[in-house]
Chain A
């Protein structure tokens, strides 16, 4: 599901919407998003209900949407971080975006569980943040 071309180590957005758009542009490279506008709408509606900024500099923007027929995911880093309205108030630096079809939840559950387990580990988070480029970030994600 992940590949080096779905990694960005230098997100430039300064607002939540800009970051989501930047990540969505990255996800478009998967070639699996049928309707970008619908995907964006699903992501923004999800954020409006409840921020996906979690804690420890991690945010996992996600949504279920008809814009995809299979799960897609990408990873972005924002050096220095930005306010993603996390409960702990810390700026988010690691962004993992995923879109899943509205039906079926197996891959969605496994992916969220897998990345959450990884990002619980402070050393793993630091390793991701210090990635030198997309290839390096990909390698550290799948290690």
Chain B
């Protein structure tokens, strides 16, 4: 069986809603600032960020429309997000 290969299926530039979930480890604003800084550093155009807290308040998820120019930016974006404190996952 042929394995899924995202490199074949994504056509750049691509617009989608990036979702990032953090475990709350400090001021909520810190997570959002870190996410915005990564997007800005990588020159990723983004839209309005929406935020949702989990019921128990342990997690916070952000949804942000982004436009990613190419594969290199796409890969670096997820690498950088992975390095943010408290990140549980990003889609």
Contacts and interface: CB of A to CB of B under 8 A. Distances in A.
Interface of A: 50-56, 60, 62, 86-88, 108-110, 112-117, 120
Interface of B: 13, 32-34, 36-37, 39-45, 47-48, 67, 69, 72-73
Contacts of B33: 109-110, 113-114
A110 B35 CA distance: 11
Contacts of B41: 62, 112
A51 B43 contact: yes
Contacts of A110: 33, 37
A114 B40 CA distance: 10
B43 A54 contact: yes
B48 A54 contact: no
A113 B40 contact: yes
A51 B70 CA distance: 12
